[in-house]
């Protein structure tokens, strides 16, 4: 099976950008005083192609899969935690379950390749490619056909989801290793700069993890192209998320990117279709070592920096109210003219006009 990513159009619109910026500047506030919320409002307007953007029916998807490489001890937790956490998501007990419920965000768990068979139920989208990837230290994690199937599955799910916002989440013991290797291969950075503690490894275990990942990358030295690298060292959940990102971008949905693993999927997608990044809002900078460098490579400025390293989409859900506020400001905040408020005088700011 071959996978052809959807073509992602350039949505640069100078006229709309100028109109949005003028609208923001004319709100009843000192110029630029809402800081980065103003930049977020501008970005959301450009993604949705309107001066009055409305966010509708947000959907958070937790992409879940297991990794054969986890058997090498690259995580502090056993692989069984993947399926156990999927059950926790579906039961409503995980952090992301609580946050999605709090903020009225639709939550779907996608079984992309968990090493466990789940009973069908509401909220579970079963598209298992296999019971976990192969051990990437021995062979490619996925065959080319498996990788293509996972990508297609992610796109298919997005086509079925309502709304115009996709929030990214994931679950998979060992997936920080896959994300680190994808980052190293696709950015050219050394694997040591891309590798952190994951689920909580100590310093010596991280050093051992780096050695294992370096060997895996050398073993797959010919896998340089984005999809080749994804098949060689990635996971079913990362591949499915990549396909979902590409489809969401093609549909001009707002893509709210969670942490390190979600950013790795966006990295792969952006290497296939660069304009994907125009549709992305990066929720936070995680505590995982490589994430700051990943964000810098993507030229992304995250909304939050709370030291999170949970995954699941928890950071995306926490950032969600900022998106709601940014669009509400654009639509509902009065302008100087409509409110009958005097604007600043030319030249120096007058006392009392610098802040409310």
Among 170, 237, 288, 312, the active-site one is 312
Interatomic CA distance for residues 61 and 244, integer angstroms: 9
Specify the residue for token string 């498996």.
146
Closest CA to 10 of 281, 277, 297: 277
Query: With contact defined as beta carbons under 8 Å apart, do 41 and 20 qualify?
Result: yes
Collapsing DSSP to helix, strand or coil, 147 comes out as helix
User: In terms of DSSP H, where are the helices of the chain?
Assistant: 14-25, 36-48, 80-91, 95-103, 144-160, 175-187, 191-194, 203-219, 226-233, 236-250, 260-272, 291-297, 314-332, 336-339
Question: Six-digit token pair at 261?
Answer: 């693993």
CA quadruple 338, 341, 344, 346: dihedral sign: positive
Return all residues near 296 (Cβ < 8 A) that are at least 6 apart: none
Cα(first)–Cα(last) distance of the chain, in Å? 60
Q: Is 312 a catalytic residue?
A: yes
Tokens of 180: 């680190």
Which conformational region is residue 12 in: left (phi greater than 0), alpha (psi within -120 to 50 degrees), or beta?
beta
Q: Two tokens at 312? A: 């699941």
Q: What one-character-per-residue DSSP string does 220-274 give?
A: TTT--SHHHHHHHH--HHHHHHHHHHHHHHHTT-EEEE-SHHHHHHHHHHHHH-G
- The residues, ordered by sequence, that sit 6+ positions from 35 with a Cβ below 8 Å of its Cβ are none
Which residue numbers are catalytic?
312
């Amino acid at each position: 099976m071959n996978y052809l990513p959807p073509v992602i159009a350039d949505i640069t619109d100078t006229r709309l950008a100028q109109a949005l910026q003028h609208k923001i500047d004319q709100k009843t506030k000192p110029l630029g005083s809402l800081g980065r919320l103003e930049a977020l409002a501008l970005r959301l307007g450009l993604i949705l192609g309107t001066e009055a953007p409305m966010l509708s029916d947000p959907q958070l998807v937790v992409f879940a899969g297991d990794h054969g490489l986890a058997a090498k001890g690259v995580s502090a937790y056993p692989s069984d935690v993947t399926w156990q956490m999927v059950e926790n998501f579906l039961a409503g007990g995980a952090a992301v379950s609580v946050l999605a419920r709090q903020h009225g965000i639709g939550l779907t768990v996608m079984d992309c390749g968990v090493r466990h068979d789940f009973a069908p139920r509401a909220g579970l989208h079963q598209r298992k490619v296999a019971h976990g990837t192969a051990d990437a230290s021995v062979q490619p994690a996925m065959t080319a056909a498996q990788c293509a199937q996972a990508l297609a599955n992610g796109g298919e799910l997005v086509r079925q989801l309502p709304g115009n916002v996709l929030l990214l989440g994931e679950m998979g013991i060992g997936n920080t290793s896959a994300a680190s290797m994808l980052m190293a291969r696709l950015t050219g950075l050394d694997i040591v700069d891309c590798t952190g503690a994951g689920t909580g490894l100590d310093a010596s275990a991280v050093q051992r993890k780096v050695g294992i990942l370096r060997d895996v990358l050398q073993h797959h030295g010919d896998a340089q192209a984005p999809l080749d690298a994804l098949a060689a060292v990635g996971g079913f959940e990362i591949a499915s998320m990549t396909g979902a990102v590409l489809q969401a971008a093609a549909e001009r949905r707002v893509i709210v990117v969670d942490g390190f693993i979600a950013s790795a999927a966006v990295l792969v997608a952006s290497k296939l279709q660069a304009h994907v990044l125009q549709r992305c809002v990066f929720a936070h900078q995680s505590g995982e070592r490589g994430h700051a460098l990943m964000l810098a490579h993507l030229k992304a400025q995250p909304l939050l920096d709370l030291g999170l390293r949970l995954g699941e989409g928890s950071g995306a859900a926490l950032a969600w109210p900022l998106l709601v506020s940014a669009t509400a400001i654009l639509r509902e905040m009065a302008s100087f003219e409509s409110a009958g408020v005097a604007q600043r005088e030319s030249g120096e700011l007058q006392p009392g006009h610098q802040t409310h």
